[in-house]
Structure 1
Amino acid sequence: MKTIKGSIGRSVDDPDPKVRFYLFHGADEAQSSALGDRLAAALKASKQSVASGVLRGDPALLADEAGAIDMFGGSKVIVIQPAGEEILPAVEALLEAAAAESPVVAIAGKLGKTSGLLKVAESHPLALAHVSYELDARDAERLVVELARTEGLRAQPDVAASIASACANDRRMISQELAKYALYLDASPNAPKDLGSEALDAVGADLGGDFMGIADLALGGDVRRLSDALSRMDASGKEAIPVVRSLQRRLLMLAPIRARVDSGERIQSVMTSLGKSLFWKDKPMVERMLALWDSAGLARVSERAGTLERRLMRGDSPPAAEALGEELVAIARQARRG
């Protein structure tokens, strides 16, 4: 069935036990992923990932996995991300099965009106489909206020608007930024704090400078040019956090693309499908990064980048410029080793 506008929150927070397949699709994949997380939280379930490429070769596997009782007696949600038309036979088998112990969530990007997967999800009584549209400015501001509250932050409308704009209305970036403000202000749901312009000035997202270029040199394994760029940076280390955040933004962009490659798509086909969503000058560098890093490697770099940023913000690391340089050179050397 297709969700009615405004009803998706109720559908994932108080899920219908009869629904065994959820299709979250659309341009805002971060919102789709967040809905999958909310469903798992509502069911107090763990998430089990299944690659779409595996289902293409074994369509019966999905129904088997959904019908199996967890060996530890807990609940689980089976997640397919990214998902596309290749999982349709597996989904049809799931919906035709006699029973299912665990629901399945498929996270897809934009699907056309002729999509067989979308038609099944919208028409079958045991399925639910929801489209996640890109956030406009007003929706993004409301999201900032809502997510801030979960971090123990009270964000005024003007502050929320600034954060949404700095993050280009991107849900994942907004969530990351708010977590940083909560850390900076020592805020929590049990000890809420006001989020004002002072905090934004101190640790807000800095999108200026050629910081993305430096991050790209590290992920692209160009040790020589990276070392040269680091030598030209301000020795005070004031640019360290903006560079780390640029690295994180690039990782957020690469992760879902690399997941598609891991599921069986060719790098060249994935790059072609991105079209104008990726700046043409960035395409050769991004294609190189996809060849150098797998999903596990990108996840490790993301974790280390987050750890480094927290150390820089707390001031419990070596001089910022030194700590940043060591980490970026280590990333570049790992990229060269493949």
Structure 2
Amino acid sequence: MKADRKRLGEALDRPDPAIRFYLFHGDDGSTSRALADRLLKGCAAEKAPLAAAELRSDPARLVDEAQAIGLFGGARLLWIEPAGEECAAAVTALLDAPAAESATVAIAGKLRKGSALLKLAEGAKTALAHVSYEPSARDADQAILALAASVGLRIRPDVARRVAQATNADPLVARQELTKFALYLDATPGAPKDLGHDTVDAVGVDASEGEGSRAVDLALTGSTVALVAELDRLEAGSLEAISLLRALQRRLLLLAPLHARVQGGESVDSVLATQKRTLFWRDFDAIAPMLRLWNADKLAQLGERLAQLECNLMLQPIPTDASLGEEIVAIARAAARR
């Protein structure tokens, strides 16, 4: 049966013993995996992985494993990841079996409408199916707010958005980050504390890379005035030149294959439309103007200049930000002229 979205959390935290098969599927694999982890905790069980390929060649094995008692007598959750149509015969046998000692969870990607696996999960009273859609910016922020509250953190919307961006809205990574912030602030659900930008600056994951990415985007879109202000702000902090250079190089590596498609005749919008599963939502507004401003030759020249600059920085006894700062402002001015 299809999961009731409003009661999904309850269904995972206090699993119904009658449910023997859970299917989490859809574009957002990180959310599906987080839901499966939540189910694992709800079952107070040990994770018992099964390979989908093995079930294809031996469909009866799933029933055997589900009816077996754990070696040490504890609960088990059979875990199939990634799952696909090759599991359908095994799941059919599981749902037809008279009983099951252990529940099974399958994590699948996007399934077609006529998927046999999906029909089995949605059609059986002893199964639960949930589709994980890619979160919108608002959904990602709301998820961070809920996770923060669960570990004892009070968090403003702007801070929630920053955490969502830093973790790519991955629920597992976000929970780890927020738990770390809670430990740092000595916060608990019973004694909540405020999470601010200062704490994220101090102990946040990849804080310097996140900071550098903002400067990079300003440079490649020709926002010279805003870039100079951003560089002044970063200079007052602890961002290293190499970190900023790495962020710029990563952006060029992302742009190169996308621009090749634009140069081949596709529109910028159509190219970006195919990247919804690989690009984080916050990047779309920045990438579109970059693809329009820079051509393949200029991107190649920029890559060569950055490689030479990296060599120069690495050869300096104490790398300084001055030469990179000059280069990144020159990039912004070049973009502004296009």
- What's the TM-score, normalizing by structure 1? 0.60
Judged with a 3 Å threshold, the aligned counterparts in structure 2 of structure 1 residues 5 and 126 are, in CA distance, closer, same or farther, namely same
Find the aligned partners of 2:136 and 2:174 in 1 and give their Cα distance: 14
5+ unaligned residues in a row in structure 2: which ranges?
214-234, 248-273, 280-318, 320-338
Count of equivalent residues: 227
Aligned to 1:207: 210
Find the aligned partners of 1:146 and 1:96 in 2 and give their Cα distance: 38
Q: Which residue identity lines up with residue 59 of structure 1 in the other structure?
A: P
Q: Are the counterparts in 2 of residues 51 and 80 from structure 1 also a CA contact under 8 Å?
A: yes
Q: Are the counterparts in 1 of residues 67 and 100 from structure 2 also a CA contact under 8 Å?
A: yes
Judged with a 3 Å threshold, the aligned counterparts in structure 2 of structure 1 residues 156 and 83 are, in CA distance, closer, same or farther, namely same
Aligned to 2:15: 15
Judged with a 3 Å threshold, the aligned counterparts in structure 2 of structure 1 residues 152 and 17 are, in CA distance, closer, same or farther, namely same
Find the aligned partners of 2:241 and 2:149 in 1 and give their Cα distance: 28
Find the aligned partners of 2:156 and 2:112 in 1 and give their Cα distance: 38
Find the aligned partners of 2:108 and 2:9 in 1 and give their Cα distance: 18
Larger C-alpha radius of gyration, 1 or 2? Answer: 2
Q: Which residue identity lines up with residue 18 of structure 1 in the other structure?
A: A
Find the aligned partners of 1:18 and 1:129 in 2 and give their Cα distance: 14
User: How much has 1:278 moved relative to structure 2?
Assistant: 4.5
Following superposition of structure 1 onto structure 2, how do residues 294-333 of structure 1 map, counting pairs within 5 Å? Answer: none
Q: What is the CA deviation profile of residues 61-97 of structure 1, one whole-angstrom value per residue up to 9, with x for unaligned ones?
A: 1100000112322111111111111111111111111
Aligned to 1:138: 138
Find the aligned partners of 1:114 and 1:9 in 2 and give their Cα distance: 27
What is the percentage of aligned positions where both structures have the same residue? 52
Aligned to 2:219: none
Q: What is the CA deviation profile of residues 235-288 of structure 1, one whole-angstrom value per residue up to 9, with x for unaligned ones?
A: x98559979xx9xxxxxxxxxxxxxxxxxxxxxxxxxxxx74458xxxxxxxxx
Q: Which runs of 4+ in 1 moved over 6 A?
A: 240-243
Q: Are the counterparts in 2 of residues 207 and 242 from structure 1 also a CA contact under 8 Å?
A: no
Q: Secondary structure at the match of 1:7?
A: helix
Judged with a 3 Å threshold, the aligned counterparts in structure 2 of structure 1 residues 278 and 32 are, in CA distance, closer, same or farther, namely closer
Q: What is the CA deviation profile of residues 138-165 of structure 1, one whole-angstrom value per residue up to 9, with x for unaligned ones?
A: 2222211221233332212332122223
- What's the TM-score, normalizing by structure 2? 0.60
Q: Which residue identity lines up with residue 210 of structure 2 in the other structure?
A: L
Question: Are residues 1:153 and 2:150 paired?
Answer: no
Following superposition of structure 1 onto structure 2, how do residues 37-52 of structure 1 map, counting pairs within 5 Å? Answer: 37-52=37-52
Judged with a 3 Å threshold, the aligned counterparts in structure 2 of structure 1 residues 50 and 198 are, in CA distance, closer, same or farther, namely same
Judged with a 3 Å threshold, the aligned counterparts in structure 2 of structure 1 residues 202 and 237 are, in CA distance, closer, same or farther, namely closer
5+ unaligned residues in a row in structure 1: which ranges?
211-233, 247-274, 280-320, 322-338
Find the aligned partners of 2:71 and 2:169 in 1 and give their Cα distance: 41
Q: Are the counterparts in 1 of residues 145 and 155 from structure 2 also a CA contact under 8 Å?
A: yes
Q: Secondary structure at the match of 2:5?
A: coil
Find the aligned partners of 1:109 and 1:83 in 2 and give their Cα distance: 8
Deviates more, 1:77-86 or 1:180-189: 180-189
Find the aligned partners of 1:5 and 1:184 in 2 and give their Cα distance: 33
Aligned to 1:162: 162
Q: Secondary structure at the match of 1:207?
A: helix
